[in-house]
Amino acid sequence: MFTQDKLKAKIHYCRDTGIFTWLYGTGLVKAGDRAGSVSTTKFSKSYIKIKVFRKHYQAHRLAYFYINGEWPTNQLDHIDGCGTNNKWSNLRPVTAAENCKNKRLQSNNTSGTTGVTFNEYMGRWKATIYDGNKQYHLGYHSDKFEAICARKSAEKKRGFHENHGTIRPL
């Protein structure tokens, strides 16, 4: 395993832009070239991957190591939901449960609000929230706005990130 000093001797990370650049050239790569390339997961989420010391690393994890000198013990959340935005101010260490509290609005959502659905049989809006692998029923509401308020109130009470359920890039 390489050290923080060895990484800093090979590559530069700008915490304001989130961009890595090579400090010296080899072959087709020149000093000052941007490091890494966009890689897409099977869920269509895009991240920057960088091959350094003969292994590929996700740039956000390299950024954490570059700044702190140690690898993150859990996950790193891209606060704005954009996996290619590796600005230091956009990264935060989180547990898997905390990371789930900052998800974007799913593309198959029909109400426009996570956890709010229309129950045709009852003719009412249903509000639910998942937290810690458990679903909580927040009630049936005759008005969509009431169901949304119930959901948003539960998100705040349970520590969900303010960006949770928003429309954001992959």
Indicate the pLDDT class of residue 168, thresholds 50, 70 and 90.
confident
* Side-chain-facing half-sphere of 86: CA atoms under 13 Å: 26
Q: What tokens appear for 46 in the block?
A: 């895009």
- Contact between 109 and 92 under an 8 Å Cβ cutoff? The reply is no
For residue 9, is pLDDT > 90? yes
Residue 107: what pLDDT?
A: 84
Which whole number is the average pLDDT over 84-111?
A: 91
